Amino acid sequence: MRANRGLHLGYMYWATGTHPAGWRFPGATAGRAFDPDYIVDVARRAEDAAFDFFFLGDRLATGTEYQYTNTSVLARPEPFTVAGYLAAKTSRIGLVVTANTTYYEPFNLARLTASLDHISAGRAAWNLVTGADPRAAGNYSRSRHGEADERYDRADEFADLVVHLWDSWEDGAFIRNKQTGEFVDGAKIHAVEHEGSYFQVRGPLNLSRPPQGHPVILHAGTSDRSRQLAARDADVVFGAAATIEDGVRYASDLRSRAAALGRDPEGLLVLPGLTPVVAETLEAARAVYDQLNALILLDEDIRYGGAGPDAWPIGGAPPRREDQGPGRRNLAALSQRLGVDVTGADLDEPVDETVRQSATDEGRRLIATAASRSGRLVGRGLTWRDVLYAHIWGAHVVVGGPSEVADYLEQWLRAGACDGFNIQSAFLLDQLEEFIRLVVPELRRRGLFRTEYTGTTLRDHLGLTRPANTVAGTTAARRTAGSAVAEGARL
């Protein structure tokens, strides 16, 4: 059961931020994604603020369209390489690495994560993903990426194997007795002998059990199948809920699934991703938000993005625009989202109340999101440009001064919608600095967030216990039963 009921904060590293034009903001970092000193600087800032972990994402394919959506994923270094470097440059913060079960092998992944846990003294975590980009298949000598159910079947078997490999060495397997010459207790080292649908692995792992027992497992449970995987295997889940009400339902669903699988539901933490746009005051933060959005590239044909009205009717499929410019940054795309044709509107025209009322539920939520972020309401300054920007930057975002942002985090926590947040920055380094300078002290003043680390491992930070060895108990039982049979045979 979780020991720490306070707010948990992870930091997800995006080298140029999450805003599609954040790298263009005056003073923002644009060209240091491969600079080790920069990565260490960002990680140490999060560690100095006592964040639970530093999260390294990954993607196994790329395309030039990412320059318009998220430059941070266009090109970035491999996460285990970065995490190994960070392990030597930091001392307390957890290190999350992303690894894809569709393209890794269980033995390699178990060895990599266990090694990282050893060299970081118990700070490693694995973000389990099944792959979001089918183009990865072409980079791994595959003809196909595989359907979702197939990938999750593989992930289920993969995760079981990784845990089994972590546990293939019992605690205390090393003896290192110089007098007798006995280095290990062979009875505490176990072959895996796995023959499954996707993998055949003999084992054991060729290094001892990780300091945490099991490095922390994270997963972003969105679809029904991924929620089930999260409920079964994850310690931390990244939810995608955009409202407190959705967050409460999401967390309740995950914990119900975990309980049905025999897990303690309190041992599953929910940390949705969140991008705070922070400044000294609410008004100043909204000014930053507006300045950011003004840097977004829109389609040259703002009405249809070059597709024309006949090619993209309301309710129809959008045109493919791979590598052809920004794409879906036009009023036709917005009309699709709203369920109402606004292609004839001027971007700086006020949002019409009758159009809002005619929009779908999703469309009305989008308009409400644009109003909340900008501070401009329908009939009181909100324009179609504001709504289009909210459509383009569809991330989970809160805009405000320290009190407004802290209020938002506290409301989610108190409502049971989450256990904390995976914080992301719209651009760096300013927005990380401002969150640490302004929001973290406010959270501490409210008694919601630690002032310093109280443990040494990532499981300590998260209030998670060290798991029992999944192999040792059954092996000990087999040894006892075997001894009894042998004794009976002698009698």
371 shares a domain with 251: no
SS3 491: coil
Alpha helices in 135-243 (DSSP H): 148-166, 224-233
Output the furthest CA–CA distance in the chain (Å, rounded): 95
Rounded alpha-carbon distances, angstroms, from residue 163 to 158, 213, 384: 9, 9, 51
Which of 457, 454, 477 has its CA nearest to residue 466? 457
Give me the long-range contacts of 284-291 (CB less than 8 A, separation at least 24). 284/401, 285/399, 285/400, 285/401, 285/404, 286/373, 286/374, 286/375, 286/399, 288/399, 288/426, 289/373, 289/374, 289/399, 290/374, 291/25
353 shares a domain with 214: no
Q: What's the chain's length in residues?
A: 491
Residue that terminates a domain, selected from 370, 392, 414: 392
Strand partners, 95: 54, 124
Which of 25, 29, 30 has its CA nearest to residue 290? 25
- What does the pLDDT read at residue 312? 54
Q: Is residue 447 part of a domain?
A: yes
Residue that terminates a domain, selected from 356, 375, 392: 392
392 CB burial (10 A radius; 0-12, 13-18, 19+)? buried
Which of 305, 388, 376 has its CA nearest to residue 346? 388
267 shares a domain with 304: no
Residue that terminates a domain, selected from 362, 392, 422: 392
Q: What is the pLDDT of residues 61-101, one digit of tens each?
A: 888 888 888 899 899 999 999 999 999 999 999 999 999 99
Which of 171, 151, 147, 43 has its CA nearest to residue 97? 43
Rounded alpha-carbon distances, angstroms, from residue 33 to 37, 99, 346, 396, 451: 10, 19, 38, 23, 30
Q: Predicted confidence band at 478 (pLDDT cuts at 50, 70, 90)?
A: very low
How many domains does the chain divide into?
A: 2
- What does the pLDDT read at residue 424? 97
359 shares a domain with 262: no
Which of 121, 127, 126, 39 has its CA nearest to residue 82? 39
Which of 256, 259, 258, 233 has its CA nearest to residue 157? 233
Please name the residues in contact with 487: beta carbons below 8 A apart, sequence gap of 6 or more: none
Please name the residues in contact with 58: beta carbons below 8 A apart, sequence gap of 6 or more: 76, 78, 79, 97, 98, 99, 100, 129
Q: Is residue 387 part of a domain?
A: yes
117 shares a domain with 166: yes
Q: Is residue 482 part of a domain?
A: no
Q: Do 348 and 382 form a contact (C-beta atoms < 8 A)?
A: no
- What does the pLDDT read at residue 137? 85
What is the model's pTM?
A: 0.92
Tokens of 84: 């190994």
Q: Go through 244-259 and write b for each residue having 16 or more CB atoms within 10 A of its CB, e for each that does not.
A: beebbebbeebbebbe
Q: Predicted confidence band at 206 (pLDDT cuts at 50, 70, 90)?
A: very high
Percent of the chain with pLDDT over 90: 81
Q: Predicted confidence band at 315 (pLDDT cuts at 50, 70, 90)?
A: low
Please report, for the chain, how many H helices and E strands are present, in that order. 17, 14
Q: Is residue 407 part of a domain?
A: yes
414 shares a domain with 388: no
Q: What is the pLDDT of residues 354-407, one digit of tens each?
A: 999 999 999 999 999 999 999 999 999 999 999 999 999 999 999 999 999 999
Q: What span, in angstroms and rounded, lies between the C-alpha atoms of 96 and 56?
A: 6
Rounded to 10 deg, the angle between the 331-338 and 384-392 helix axes is: 80
Q: What span, in angstroms and rounded, lies between the C-alpha atoms of 189 and 277?
A: 51
Q: Is residue 3 part of a domain?
A: no
239 shares a domain with 367: no
127 shares a domain with 167: yes
- Whether residue 196 is predicted with pLDDT greater than 90 in this model: the reply is yes
Higher pLDDT, 141 or 421: 421
Rounded alpha-carbon distances, angstroms, from residue 296 to 24, 140, 385: 9, 34, 11
359 shares a domain with 274: no
SS3 226: helix
Tokens of 137: 């298949």
| pLDDT (average), residues 16-40 | 97
Q: Torsions phi, psi of 380, nearest 5?
A: -135, 50
- Whether residue 1 is predicted with pLDDT greater than 50 in this model: the reply is no
| Strand 236-237 to 269-270 pairing | parallel
| pLDDT (average), residues 407-418 | 97
Q: Is residue 168 part of a domain?
A: yes
Q: Predicted confidence band at 242 (pLDDT cuts at 50, 70, 90)?
A: confident
The parent domain of residue 42 ranges over: 8-279+399-462
**CATH value at residue 84:** 3.20.20.30
Angle at 348 between CA 346 and CA 351, to 5 degrees: 85
Amino acid 239 reads G
- What does the pLDDT read at residue 40? 98
- What does the pLDDT read at residue 368? 96
Dump the DSSP string for 344-398: TS-TTSBPPHHHHHHS-HHHHHHHHHHHHHHS-BTTBB-BHHHHHHHHHS-S-EE
Q: What is the pLDDT of residues 256-273, one digit of tens each?
A: 999 999 999 999 999 999
Q: Is residue 209 part of a domain?
A: yes
Q: Is residue 371 part of a domain?
A: yes
Q: What is the pLDDT of residues 334-350, one digit of tens each?
A: 999 999 999 999 999 99
- What does the pLDDT read at residue 490? 32
317 shares a domain with 178: no
- What does the pLDDT read at residue 308? 62
Q: Predicted confidence band at 146 (pLDDT cuts at 50, 70, 90)?
A: confident
Place of tokens 């940054």: 329
183 shares a domain with 198: yes
Percent of the chain with pLDDT over 70: 91
275 shares a domain with 162: yes
- Whether residue 6 is predicted with pLDDT greater than 90 in this model: the reply is no
Q: Do 395 and 426 form a contact (C-beta atoms < 8 A)?
A: no
Mean pLDDT, the chain, integer: 91
